[in-house]
Amino acid sequence: MYTPNIDALASRSLLLKRAYVQQAVCSPSRSSFLTGRRPDTTHVYDLVSSFRHVGGNFTTLPQFFKQKGYKTYGIGKIFHGKNASGGDDTPSWTEPYFHGDDPYFRDRNFSWEAVPDSELQTKPLVDRQIADHAIQTLRSISGSVKKGETDFFMAVGFRRPHLPFVFPDSVMQTHYPKHLIRLPSNPYAPVNMPNISWSSYDELRIHYGDIKALNLSGEINTTLPDQITLDLRRAYYSAVTWIDSLVGEVIRELDSLGLSNNTVVSFIGDHGWQLGEHGEWCKHTNFEITTHAPMMIHIPGLTDHGIVTEQLTEFVDLYPTIVEAAGHGSLPLCPEDSVNTKICREGTSLVPLIIKPDTAIKHTAFSQFWRPGNIMGYSMRTNRYRYTEWVDFKYAPTYKANWDIKHGVELYDHNVDPEENYNGADDPKYHDIKTELSKLLHKGWRHTPDVISEIIG
């Protein structure tokens, strides 16, 4: 994909090339990294629940800075937004929230749309509105910031490349001619995949008129027709490039206002995305492609020449990293029961990777995803393997897994199968590894050893 502005930011950031979200769907992921706690602490597994109602009255990342005297600005999609999952979380912000208007999201007739550039002056895309508001806000506060009168925390949440994929037509025509677009190399479910691992991609298949008209079943090893797949992939790439251009505008404004040398900038996505790989679409799984997402952090004076790390990291690490990078010290580790602990962390600060990017700060990354019928898929990534167990799960008040009742197990060896096309959980050659990985998964993130044997990796 053509992303020169994000690439430029990466070149002066700590680039986390192996960062994993805690749950591959919007609200649970955002609730996790914005509170610094994992889904089994926030108790947010869906798009309805608010962590303040089902988890605890936790201090969010923007709220932390608000309490430190910063002005805090929420622009676009930060929490799940408006009427879902607790809305925009009013306690997090000192300034009025800005949403923008997205008429294209309300029009569910099409899964993507290349809008003629001539229409954009009278009907600007929501992400154009979000970028403009961010730029205007920076301009309005730059004077007081440079005088030392104001500290600020600004969260800018672009909506794309969320469905529907909407962008200026010129982006597609300029960067993505049809002959460059390719089908995924693995449009089939992994061999020996348990049925519970599969998502029938309802978000795309049911909610958008053009795809709904195809009457697809969403069953395992069925997917979209080739031409529709190519069109959607092309549209997704175009939406990403459109957002890249807006990221560039906001960063350039920060530079031109003279604020870059004293502002920490992070860039993230809230989950990965399936574009026909495994025959899947959207997110809602525990595969590598949905749990692996972009994350980079620019810290003036420390990352200016770019630092790349291949070490395992998690999105729950973002909160303590930003706090430390901004000069507010280290956060305490959350106790086992942190419902009444307003500020703590369940991740690890990434600041040590700036000095030693090749030294592991953790050996496992944990993700999870729920399924109807009180089933939770717990997934663990080591350097070499992805291991997942789908087990019975008790919701309120205990929120506990029953590891004895399994609905499916997955084991993917990334040394030989980086696309996760073969589930080796029942393969005799992985028996001993599976046993060790299962023990680690059950122990959880608090109790994984500092050193993992070479056989597990």
Write out the DSSP string of 261-317. GG--EEEE-SS--EESGGG-EES-S-SHHHHB--EEEE-TTTSTT-EEE-S-EEGGG
d(CA 332, CA 366): 20
What's the whole-number mean pLDDT along residues 423-440? 97
Rounded to whole angstroms, the Cα distance separating 237 from 247 reads 15
Whether pLDDT at 450 is above 80: no
Could you give phi then psi for residue 143, rounded to 5 degrees? -60, -50
CA angle 22, 429, 419 (to 5 degrees): 40
Question: pTM for the whole thing?
Answer: 0.97
pLDDT band at 448 (very low <50, low <70, confident <90, very high): confident
Backbone angles phi, psi at 329, to 5 degrees: 80, -165
Report the distance separating Cα 349 and Cα 352, nearest Å.
7
Active-site residue (options: 43, 80, 99, 284): 80
pLDDT tops 90 at residue 452: no
Residue 277, pLDDT above cutoff 70: yes
Tell me how crowded residue 182 is: count the other CB atoms within 10 A of its CB. 9
**154 pairs with which residues across the strands?**
73
| pLDDT one-digit tens code per residue, 309-364 | 999 999 999 999 999 999 999 999 999 999 999 999 999 999 999 999 999 999 99
SS3 state at 438: helix
The token pair that represents 31 in the structure block: 């609730």
pLDDT level of residue 158 (50, 70, 90 thresholds): very high
pLDDT band (50, 70, 90) for residue 49:
very high
82: confidence class by pLDDT, cuts 50, 70, 90: low
CB atoms within 10 A of CB 177: 10
Task: Please name the helix (run of DSSP H) or strand (run of DSSP E) that holds residue 288, with its range, or none.
Answer: helix 288-291
pLDDT at 309: 98
442 part of the active site = no
For residue 108, pLDDT over 70 is answered with yes
Determine the residue type at 421: N
The whole-number pLDDT of residue 103 equals: 81
Query: pLDDT at position 154, please?
Result: 98
Q: Is the separation of the CB atoms in 367 and 20 below 8 Å?
A: yes
Asked whether the predicted pLDDT for residue 83 surpasses 70, the reply is no
What is the per-residue pLDDT for 310?
A: 98
- Taking only the tens place, the pLDDT of each residue in 224-241 is 999 999 999 999 999 999
Whether the per-residue pLDDT at 90 is higher than 90: the answer is yes
- pLDDT (0 to 100) of residue 84: 63
Q: What is the dihedral of CA 124, 127, 129, 135, to 10 degrees?
A: -140
**pLDDT (mean) for 261-267:** 97
Residues contacting 365, CB < 8 A, separation 6+: 18, 20, 291, 312, 313, 314, 380, 381
DSSP state of 331: P
pLDDT at site 71: 98
Per DSSP, the three-state class of 150 is coil
Domain ranges of the chain: 4-355
Phi-psi region of 374 (alpha: psi -120 to 50; beta: other; left: phi over 0): left
Tell me, yes or no, if 80 is annotated catalytic.
yes
The CATH architecture of the domain made up of 4-355 is 3-Layer(aba) Sandwich (3.40)
The answer on pLDDT for 106 being more than 90 is: no
